[in-house]
């Protein structure tokens, strides 16, 4: 194709602060409507803003994790427009002196590496919220007005909807690892606005930029970007005129529709916020923020493969959230068997977490105890089957797995003379299978092993049973 898609993304993330951006009102999801407001965040005359230092720190933390530089002097601007959910008639944002700028992130989609440049990560305040009722009335709610909002803007480097999805998933993971945002799209804590246009690979001319709004989930972002790329290709082929505009996603019809002709920065008449002095982040402070950044999910994933020898798949699942990754590492260390620890954490442990509605840091079962259970399997004290049978109870009780095993008398039978006798009985009880094994049909051994396991309630050491039976049947 002669035209290449150019997609850029603006992501807004609500920051995990306890108070709003320029006042002391609490930031809470699900509070009583208009209960968290004061003269500053509803813009009463004479109210003066005071910046929230924690919010500034969280944006710098994110910017540094994305490889950005921190501005030497960062200014707030007024972005002027009228809307009922914006009581001041302007939003305090940043313009040409953002807190952080110029980063990159390296990712992979369908096995193909790609690099996205981060233009800036800056700080602004959220607006209120309008709810339009079916009887024609509209309600305005200001609890969200003034909540600290980080905006992360990329260069238009994405060439497909798949790349956009990979980036958003990684960004959400990163924001959660850094503890800067819940990044929950369903609560509106993370919102995303793509811009899409096409550029002629040779001539360099491009179609007008289209911004898409009203995207409530990762899947919808993916669908909308795909649709818009196709729509612009179609317009080019059919000589349909296009214009710079804002379109919204209509999920019923699965298409974008025109919302308004795009406003330019001039329409907002940005000017420096006269009530706030520029922020000058001290180098020492920036360095202390840098030092507090934990190992990031992409690095951690790579280390899980190189240090523990885990498959890529395991590494990706385990590092998806930080507490799960921490849990795995502690279990791996206690068991001395990372691959088994990974299987247990991703399998039975994750199942029990969801059954009980818990997370790795709230459940009773400590990773050290899970590690001990794995060690007991590996040293032959219990079989994997027994471990699985007791796991639901073990998950609820926690503590020393040896206690449950002792109480229930579930130690594996590894006493050779005891097993010899059971094996003799098993051969006697299964003469046909025994003859088949003697005749070289190894498959028939299963029936005899099954008999031994049944007799011992699954407690016979399977390795030893196999060895004894093979010897007795002359193999
Ligand atoms: Zn307030």
**d(CA 182, ligand 1 centre) in Å:** 21
Distance CA 13, CA 123 (A): 10
pLDDT value, residue 265: 67
Distance CA 318, CA 310 (A): 10
pLDDT value, residue 409: 78
Distance CA 306, CA 286 (A): 31
**d(CA 285, ligand 1 centre) in Å:** 27
**d(CA 146, ligand 1 centre) in Å:** 7
CB 335 within 8 A of CB 322: no
Please give the torsion angle defined by the CA atoms of residues 91, 96, 99 and 103, in that order, rounded to the nearest 10 degrees: 120
Distance CA 18, CA 354 (A): 29
Angle between helices 384-397 and 401-408 (to 10 degrees): 120
Name beta bridge partners: 152.
11, 121
Please give the torsion angle defined by the CA atoms of residues 272, 27, 121 and 174, in that order, rounded to the nearest 10 degrees: 180
CB 423 within 8 A of CB 465: yes
Distance CA 122, CA 12 (A): 10
- The ranges of the chain annotated as CATH 1.10.10.410 are 416-472
Percent helix, strand, coil in the chain, to 5, is 40, 20, 35
CB 127 within 8 A of CB 91: yes
* Distance, first Cα to last Cα, the chain: 65
**d(CA 42, ligand 1 centre) in Å:** 7
CB 90 within 8 A of CB 26: no
Closest among 314, 372, 365 to 339, alpha carbons compared: 314
pLDDT value, residue 458: 81
Name beta bridge partners: 74.
279
Distance CA 156, CA 57 (A): 27
**d(CA 21, ligand 1 centre) in Å:** 9
**d(CA 54, ligand 1 centre) in Å:** 16
**d(CA 19, ligand 1 centre) in Å:** 8
**d(CA 133, ligand 1 centre) in Å:** 26
Q: Which residues surround ligand 1, an ion (CB under 5 A)?
A: 23, 25, 38, 40-41
Name beta bridge partners: 238.
none
pLDDT value, residue 149: 97
**d(CA 41, ligand 1 centre) in Å:** 4
pLDDT value, residue 475: 63
Distance CA 315, CA 297 (A): 10
Closest among 184, 59, 163 to 105, alpha carbons compared: 163
H helices of 23-160, where? 53-65
pLDDT value, residue 30: 82
| DSSP secondary structure letters along 350-397 | HHHHHHHT--TTTSSS-HHHHHHHHHHHHTTSS-HHHHHHHHHHHHHH
Closest among 259, 184, 247 to 210, alpha carbons compared: 247
**349 token code pair:** 């442990």
**d(CA 139, ligand 1 centre) in Å:** 19
**43 token code pair:** 């813009």
Distance CA 96, CA 75 (A): 8
Distance CA 86, CA 343 (A): 51
CB 100 within 8 A of CB 69: yes
CATH of domain 416-472: 1.10.10.410
CB 147 within 8 A of CB 21: yes
Contacts (Cβ under 8 Å, ≥6 apart) of 33: 139, 141, 143
**d(CA 33, ligand 1 centre) in Å:** 13
Helix (H) or strand (E) holding 437: helix 431-438
Distance CA 9, CA 45 (A): 35
The pair phi, psi for residue 101, each rounded to 5°, is -160, 160
pTM score of the predicted model: 0.84
Helix (H) or strand (E) holding 225: helix 218-237
**d(CA 20, ligand 1 centre) in Å:** 7
**d(CA 26, ligand 1 centre) in Å:** 8
**d(CA 29, ligand 1 centre) in Å:** 15
pLDDT in tens, the chain (475 residues): 689 999 999 999 999 999 999 999 999 878 899 999 999 999 999 999 999 999 999 999 999 999 999 999 999 999 999 999 999 999 999 999 999 999 999 999 988 999 999 999 999 999 999 999 999 999 999 999 999 999 999 999 999 999 999 999 999 999 999 999 999 998 889 999 999 999 998 888 899 999 999 798 999 999 999 999 999 999 999 999 999 999 999 988 999 999 888 667 678 889 999 999 999 999 999 999 999 999 999 999 999 999 999 999 999 999 999 999 999 999 999 999 999 999 999 999 999 999 999 999 999 999 999 999 999 999 888 888 889 999 999 999 999 998 888 888 777 787 888 889 999 999 999 999 999 999 888 888 989 999 988 888 888 888 888 889 989 988 6
CB 300 within 8 A of CB 294: no
Name beta bridge partners: 80.
90
| DSSP secondary structure letters along 122-148 | EEEE---EEEE-TTS-EEEE-TTTT-E
Between β-strands 245-250 and 210-213, what pairing exists: parallel, antiparallel or unpaired? parallel
**d(CA 275, ligand 1 centre) in Å:** 16
């Amino acid at each position: 194709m002669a035209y290449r898609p150019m997609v850029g993304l603006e992501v807004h993330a609500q920051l995990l602060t306890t108070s709003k951006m320029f006042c002391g009102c609490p930031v809470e999801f699900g509070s009583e409507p208009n209960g968290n407001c004061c003269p500053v965040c509803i813009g009463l005359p004479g109210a003066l803003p005071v910046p929230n230092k924690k919010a500034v720190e969280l944006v710098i933390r994110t910017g540094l994790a994305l490889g950005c530089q921190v501005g030497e002097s960062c200014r707030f601007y007024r972005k002027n427009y009228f809307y009922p959910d914006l009581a001041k008639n302007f939003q305090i944002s940043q313009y040409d002196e953002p807190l952080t700028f110029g980063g990159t992130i390296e990712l992979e989609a369908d096995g193909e590496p790609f690099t996205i440049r981060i233009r800036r990560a800056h700080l602004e305040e959220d607006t209120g919220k309008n709810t339009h009722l079916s009887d024609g009335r509209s309600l305005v709610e200001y609890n969200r007005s003034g909540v600290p909002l980080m905006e992360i803007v990329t260069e238009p480097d994405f060439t497909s909807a798949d790349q956009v999805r990979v980036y958003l998933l990684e960004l959400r993971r990163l924001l959660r690892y850094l503890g800067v945002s819940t990044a929950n799209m369903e609560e509106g804590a993370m919102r995303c606005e793509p811009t899409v246009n096409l550029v002629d690979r040779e001539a360099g001319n491009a179609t007008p930029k289209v911004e898409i709004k009203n995207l409530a989930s990762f899947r919808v972002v993916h669908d909308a970007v795909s649709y818009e790329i196709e729509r612009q290709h179609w317009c080019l082929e059919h000589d349909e005129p296009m214009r710079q505009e804002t379109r919204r996603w209509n999920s019923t019809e699965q298409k974008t529709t025109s919302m308004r002709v795009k406003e330019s920065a001039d329409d907002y008449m940005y000017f420096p916020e006269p009530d706030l002095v520029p922020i000058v982040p001290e180098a020492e402070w920036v360095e202390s923020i840098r030092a507090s950044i934990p190992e990031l999910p992409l690095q951690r994933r790579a280390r899980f493969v190189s240090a523990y020898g885990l498959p890529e798949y395991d590494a990706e699942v385990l590092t998806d959230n930080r507490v799960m990754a921490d849990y795995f590492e502690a279990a791996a260390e206690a068991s001395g068997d990372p691959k088994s620890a990974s299987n247990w954490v991703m399998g039975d442990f994750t199942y029990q977490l969801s059954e009980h509605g818990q997370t790795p840091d709230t459940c009773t079962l400590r990773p050290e105890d899970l590690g001990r259970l794995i060690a007991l399997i590996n040293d032959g004290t219990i079989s994997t089957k027994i471990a699985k049978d007791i796991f639901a109870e073990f998950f609820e009780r926690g503590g020393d797995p040896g206690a449950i095993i002792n109480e229930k008398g579930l130690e594996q039978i590894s006493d050779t003379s005891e097993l010899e006798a059971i094996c003799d009985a098993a051969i006697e009880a299964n003469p046909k299978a025994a003859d088949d094994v003697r005749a070289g049909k190894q498959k028939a051994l299963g029936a005899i092993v099954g008999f031994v396991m049944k007799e011992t309630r699954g407690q016979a050491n399977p390795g030893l049973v196999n060895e004894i039976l093979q010897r007795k049947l002359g193999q």
